[in-house]
Structure 1
Amino acid sequence: MILLEEEPKNKQKTPKRPKKRVSLLVYISSTLLALFVGIFMTILVIGLNNRTSQQLDSSASGLNKISSVYQTISQQYYRKTDKTKLINGAIKGMIASLDDPYSEYLAGSDASDLDNTISGSFEGIGAEIQKKGNYIEIVSPIAGSPAKKAGLKANDIITAINGKSTAGWSATKTTNKIRGKKNTKVTLTIKRGKQSFKVTLKRDVIPVKTVNARLDKKQPTIGYIQITSFSEPTFKEVKAAITKLRKQGAKSFVLDVRSNPGGIMQQALKISSMFVANGKTLMQVKARTGKATVYRASKSLDGGFKVKEPVKVLIDDGSASASEIFAAALNQSANVELIGTKSFGKGTVQQVSQLSKKSEFKITVAKWLTPNGSWINKRGLTPNITAKYPSYAYLPVVSDQKTYQLDDVATPIKTLQKELKAVGQDPGAINGYFGQSTKQAVTAFQAANNLDQTGKLDPTTIDKLQAAITKKISANDVAYNKAIEQLSK
């Protein structure tokens, strides 16, 4: 599943008014949007000053140019033209000129798929994506999803799907191609840094549950709460988790929003308010003009449920949007330390307007700011304590479509050599050459894992090796261990 993070359209029919939806990443209240529209209409009714008149004159001149080009192409182009394509092309061109990965024009199936939300159950691979340049970038894989299990990471670029280039595709078109029924497969071509590789994923039902909680095994007075996304039930799930952990003896908490791509901002605000004193700022939303709208912690948000125990928050480069709002609110308004690596950096607000039954466009209408007024867009939140996974956690995924054997030379072999060393098998020189030392390491790994001892890196061995790496990464969670250490003092 690729999360589109949009609120569902209003099911009630309102024929004479266009439907509008706001990005779930950052929700702007309908009253605020209505205010923008109201101000614009007031200017029209009251009268226009010279500057406004000049602006409208300029706009009219520009529209006349567009109309002139359209008419010329329609009437004089040497081949018959498709009027719909011409209009769509003009709209796409205007939006593309914004150079904004979150603004796009959607028509046909692209538009209809925007109605899906993270409040339901989906079948897919479980990752949020966005447009970046001419291709598609992964923002964050969801915990427990096929994408996460396959080792896909934030900032990976999807250059092809099932062999077809994604160049020029919208995020929604990419979504359509990746989604599919449970147990069916999709092959992605991924570019990570200078390396490019293919990975085949088996689609699955993406879990709706957004909160996982438990006591730490070694420190049973510390509760661990993982928030995988900010969906409709998340506030209730977090509240229930804290209540249960308290009954089990928890005196402090680790809140984990790593690889959390975001979700409904209202949920992020409600949960943030649990940890922040009433009246203190949670976030700010600022449109192009006017003062910022400030959101503050309050009983109306958290229902009076407060958490005053010591808390640490874990973030990484997959923590985006609503999870960044949450982390920034706790960090800047409740002095909660952030542990991990720099977050993704998504600091803008989108509005989606429906043009017709089959088309709509999404544009960025505002930016959101942290409590102290910082704009983290493309910069992310910097943790108070930097804690990275071991280097092998950042290795690229190696495709299991090939077999490597003695005397082969290839870049993926170098990656597999690093993985062999990480799991305790010495491959000798790590240089991409499959020599005798590498063969011995592979044979030893196969013996330790009850595989046929062929000495070859075949698909089964590669899968087993990468599964072993994933397990080892989980067992060496540096950021989590640092949080436990801090709370144990």
Structure 2
Amino acid sequence: MKTKHLVWTVAVLAAVLVGGFFFIGGMNTGSPNPIQPNNGNESVVELSDDELMDKFERALATIESEYVTETDRQQLIEGAINGMVETLNDPFSDYMDVSSATDFQQSLSSHFEGIGAEVGMIDGNVSIISPMRESPAEKAGLLPNDAIIAIDGESIEGWSVNEAVANIRGEGGTTVTLTIARNGVKDPFDVKIERDTIEVESVRADTFEQDGKKIGRLEITSFSEDVGTQFEEQLQTLEEDGIDGLVIDVRGNPGGYLEGATKIGDAIIPEGKPVVQIEHGNGEIDSYLSKMKGKKPYPVVGLINESSASASEILAAALKESGDYDLVGETTFGKGTVQKSIPMDDGSALKITTDRWLTAGGNTIDQEGVEPTVKQRQPDYFYAVALTVEETFVKDQVSDQIGNAQKMLTGLGFDVGRDDGYFDEKTEEAIIAFQQSHDLQANGELNEETAGKLQEDILSHIRDTANDEQLKRAVELAAEQASQ
């Protein structure tokens, strides 16, 4: 199997081996000569490679012969491999057993089953990196940096990303409930998600008329194996249609194959300019230069947000630094490392960080992200789509969920006048008006039925391009530049 270069965050689509180590601290009740801790007063003994392997084999033999119950050698070895990877302290490096490795490869294909979100470790918490466009995760209101603190009511404190992934993924039609802690929201809340079969169309194309100019948009949803070919085909169709400008949209794109980003670079970055620079562990740097002939005869504008990660950031940085093109939106996620998926003989695999990538100008974006040249936020209700109402809220109550509902009502044209979570008389009036418009019981209460319909409406509102302020600004900018 060919080694693949990945700039990908751990996916909820991959199942992984679950392992752990448990111990009880306290008095020694075994050997009369307990091992004393090294308090820094003694030097660590340096062992040769042969001595290290002898030590490992002795530990394995001792566990197998002395442990109180029967052990499984394969589990012990795989646990040791997991332990080696964990010592790297790298949230993007993993050991994947046979099943996990198979599922991981499927997660990069054109369809899979799950909730459609990328998961990684952020500040020690298993967190959402990016929900995919129109996925169950997005529809349920999950946002980047949402910390997952429980799955189906079970706390995941101390769990690895892989262990969480194994419990989140599942067959289409089944449900999973994630308990989410979100910055700016006081209390954790539950989000119930119905898993589905996710069909991945890596590149989508559409056009917009703006001030007499035809502006094409290529929306890249993931960097799958054939994303470069899809991009070239869609771009050719737009150019044959006579576009005056182009918007490249990588919002909500968590990444994928590095080769996908470089191939797209060949189709859009001016000839001879760097698409990306790869810094290897030995300090050597390789530059990948665009093979495109000349430069596009029309303006290009990139669209980014905080869910744009990895390969999306490579392309965005290349547009900005090598193409001298504008980027509209918000600062990207900030993942500047490259992983290789290295297969083992039995079908398992190691996915480990092997390189760092740098922008055309030699800059790192790791944990910093790519900054837009034109900052543009979405309306507040775009960031408040997780509405879970397990109890009915009425006037004079206070809750973060009430605040989310107030933002949504305002976004839908029902004037509330506040979004601080206090259920006042005006909020009650807005809810009654909303209920009446949907033939619901107009009692002014924020109950489960009203909340469900409210979230359904706001998601439809968000998916309507007429309400997408970032897209509108990018199209306007492309049209302005096309007129110059």
State yes or no: 1:478 paired with 2:469.
yes
SS at match of 2:366: coil
Opposite residue 470 of structure 2, the aligned amino acid is A
Aligned to 1:137: 127
Instruction: Provide the rounded CA distance (Å) in 1 between the counterparts of 2:8 and 2:168.
Output: 21
Superposed displacement of residue 343, structure 1? 0.8
Change (3 A) 1:184 1:445: same
Superposed displacement of residue 213, structure 1? 1.6
Aligned to 1:7: none
Change (3 A) 1:421 1:83: same
Q: Equivalent of 1:230, from 218, 223, 236?
A: 223
Aligned to 1:277: 270
Superposed displacement of residue 133, structure 1? 5.3
State yes or no: 1:209 paired with 2:204.
no
Q: Equivalent of 2:236, from 243, 264, 289?
A: 243
Superposed displacement of residue 84, structure 1? 3.9
Opposite residue 313 of structure 1, the aligned amino acid is G
Aligned to 1:127: 117
Superposed displacement of residue 321, structure 1? 1.0
Superposed displacement of residue 186, structure 1? 2.1
Change (3 A) 1:140 1:429: closer
State yes or no: 1:253 paired with 2:253.
no
Aligned to 1:361: 350
Change (3 A) 1:486 1:108: closer
Q: Is the 8 A contact 2:202 2:221 kept in 1?
A: yes
SS at match of 2:233: helix
Q: Equivalent of 2:77, from 75, 87, 98?
A: 87
Superposed displacement of residue 279, structure 1? 2.0
Superposed displacement of residue 318, structure 1? 0.8
Opposite residue 329 of structure 1, the aligned amino acid is A
Opposite residue 93 of structure 1, the aligned amino acid is G
Q: Equivalent of 2:152, from 148, 162, 175?
A: 162
Change (3 A) 1:261 1:435: same
SS at match of 2:108: coil
| Post-superposition CA distance 1:206-228 (Å, at most 9, x none) | 22322222221444511122111
- The two structures have a TM-score, normalised by structure 1, of 0.81
Aligned to 1:105: 95
Aligned to 1:193: 183
Q: Is the 8 A contact 1:134 1:167 kept in 2?
A: no
Opposite residue 206 of structure 2, the aligned amino acid is R
Alignment root-mean-square deviation, CA: 2.8
Change (3 A) 1:67 1:182: closer
Identity of counterpart residues, as a percentage?
38
* Pairs within 5 Å for 1:364-379: 364-379=353-368
* Structure 2 residue runs without a partner (length 5+): 10-44
Superposed displacement of residue 293, structure 1? 1.7
Instruction: Provide the rounded CA distance (Å) in 2 between the counterparts of 1:20 and 1:217.
Output: 44
- The two structures have a TM-score, normalised by structure 2, of 0.82
Opposite residue 282 of structure 2, the aligned amino acid is T
Superposed displacement of residue 202, structure 1? 2.2
Instruction: Provide the rounded CA distance (Å) in 2 between the counterparts of 1:204 and 1:269.
Output: 31
Opposite residue 168 of structure 2, the aligned amino acid is I
Aligned to 2:166: 176
SS at match of 2:96: strand
Instruction: Provide the rounded CA distance (Å) in 2 between the counterparts of 1:271 and 1:226.
Output: 12
* Pairs within 5 Å for 1:279-298: 279-298=272-291
Instruction: Provide the rounded CA distance (Å) in 2 between the counterparts of 1:323 and 1:428.
Output: 37
Instruction: Provide the rounded CA distance (Å) in 1 between the counterparts of 2:105 and 2:236.
Output: 34
More helix by share: 1
Superposed displacement of residue 463, structure 1? 2.1
* Pairs within 5 Å for 1:330-409: 330-357=319-346, 359-395=348-384, 397-409=386-398
Instruction: Provide the rounded CA distance (Å) in 1 between the counterparts of 2:3 and 2:220.
Output: 28
Opposite residue 421 of structure 2, the aligned amino acid is G
Aligned residues: 440
Opposite residue 468 of structure 2, the aligned amino acid is D
Worse overlay, 137-146 or 232-241: 232-241
Worse overlay, 424-433 or 322-331: 424-433
Aligned to 2:449: 460
